[in-house]
Copies of this chain bind each other. A is one copy, B any other.
């Protein structure tokens, strides 16, 4: 038994912590976490009867999926997996944790967000941070030089969660990657085609896919006079252009990172440029840019990429955007990011409530839903002899898509079914449990999705109600008379129509009435 006085003291201290956070207007997550600690302490105090009180919650930044959410998730996954399979991808799986050293040195500053496992003897382990590093480890370990694979799994980041906007500590990634030595830009173009297909099919509203190249960024920094050792840090400042104004970005470059005003202004000119193949053409002629061999290599590849994207008929959504600068260290060539350009959820809600589609709300980016690029050096980091396997891939950020779909489903009139049950076996009379079970087993054995109430004598009304609530389209009703006649009364829940069907025809009749179009 713990010391009561000690706990009471702890409760006082913790209460102060909560009050202070509230007065400071701390984030909801932070306050919730401290309140949870307080409740736990109070529960322990109340636990005199020997019964331990649990804090009933999931870990910070994580969530359960209820059946409705799972139904939506399954739909989204099916769309994505179909696309990956259509493009001929195999799939692999890797463990949720890796040796800690496998992840070391791959994520730069973000390494602090890695979850480590407790040292309980044996190896030091960490939860995977993405699927790309385990993929590279897998290729090197199995000496695979050629593969097109997808991998859908959860990854873990001790980030500051913002769950309402779809940012979690445990979240799914859907990765598609092509590894192998191939002719330039062909696999890269296929990755963009895949992003296009998936966002189009998920029907989330309009979108843009921004494209750039690590070599163009580096070349641009060089010709603008950025010192070599500042490329990465200036790059990460440029990366903020989607959230900050150019003025603020420039201030950070000059005041915080010590770049000359002149260099910053030159960068500013370039990063405001957007276009297509013509812009790449134009920059290849640019007096300054053309001085960098790296930049020219990148620009030529962008031109080639756009020529393939034209064949794939996806250039209407793809923009060559010099401000795109993805953070991760391991990219070596083309990079891309897809953003939804509609207010998304908000506008969906408004439309549904006002019945005014095509509202004039300003188009606002709801953030990145997919991203990727070429990383030709990562596998070599794992190979004892440093043998390289060129790779390019894309990762679909599924949580934000789930958020949008869930909110869409909420405002939609259509009910989300969480089971696929075709028929409920019911009866209006008593003492027919055995007959109901027998018929249900017959249906199961024929592959029909069927349910029966786990009661000896359920009321017909409650059986019918269950059908309406869970969207079961048919009821097979048994009664003394039906049993005598060798028939079943088949009722359509929606229309309340009933018809006697002979037992011999029942299975075919159910199949016929519930077959997908």
Mark A residues whose CB is within 8 Å of B. 33, 36, 40, 51-60, 62-67, 70, 73-74, 85-99, 101-102, 104-105, 115-120, 122-123, 125, 127, 137-138, 140-142, 147, 149, 154, 156, 158, 170, 178, 180, 182-183, 186-187, 189-190, 193, 197, 308, 311-313, 381-382, 384, 386, 418-421, 433-434, 437-438, 441, 444-445, 447-451, 454-456
Contacts and interface: CB of A to CB of B under 8 A. Distances in A.
21 contacts: A53-B384, A54-B137, A56-B137, A56-B384, A59-B97, A64-B142, A67-B92, A70-B92, A70-B93, A85-B449, A86-B449, A87-B451, A90-B418, A115-B118, A116-B118, A117-B118, A190-B454, A193-B441, A197-B444, A308-B437, A311-B434
B86 A67 contact: no
A471 to B, nearest CB: 11
**Most chain B Cβ neighbours within 10 Å, of A90, A170, A455:** A90
A39 B34 CA distance: 44
Given A94-B64, A115-B120, A449-B86, A54 B102 contact: yes
The 10 closest A-B pairs by CB, nearest first: A67-B90, A182-B454, A62-B95, A88-B451, A65-B93, A116-B118, A186-B454, A90-B418, A56-B141, A88-B421
A199 to B, nearest CB: 15
Given A85-B419, A93-B65, A122-B60, A55 B182 contact: no
A186 to B, nearest CB: 4
Contacts of A437: 186, 189, 308, 311-312
Given A182-B454, A454-B186, A98 B58 contact: yes
B70 A90 contact: yes
Contacts of A73: 93
A139 to B, nearest CB: 10
A299 to B, nearest CB: 20
Contacts of A51: 386
A411 B55 CA distance: 51
Contacts of A178: 454
A445 B197 CA distance: 8
A149 B71 CA distance: 12
B116 A170 contact: no
A123 B59 contact: yes
Given A64-B92, A102-B54, A85 B420 contact: yes
Contacts of A99: 55, 57-59
Contact of A33 (B123, B142, B419): B123
Nearest to A457: B183
Contacts of A386: 51
Contacts of A118: 115-119
B96 A154 contact: yes
Contacts of A123: 33, 36, 59-60
Nearest to A73: B93
A382 B54 contact: yes
Contact of A96 (B87, B119, B170, B384): B170
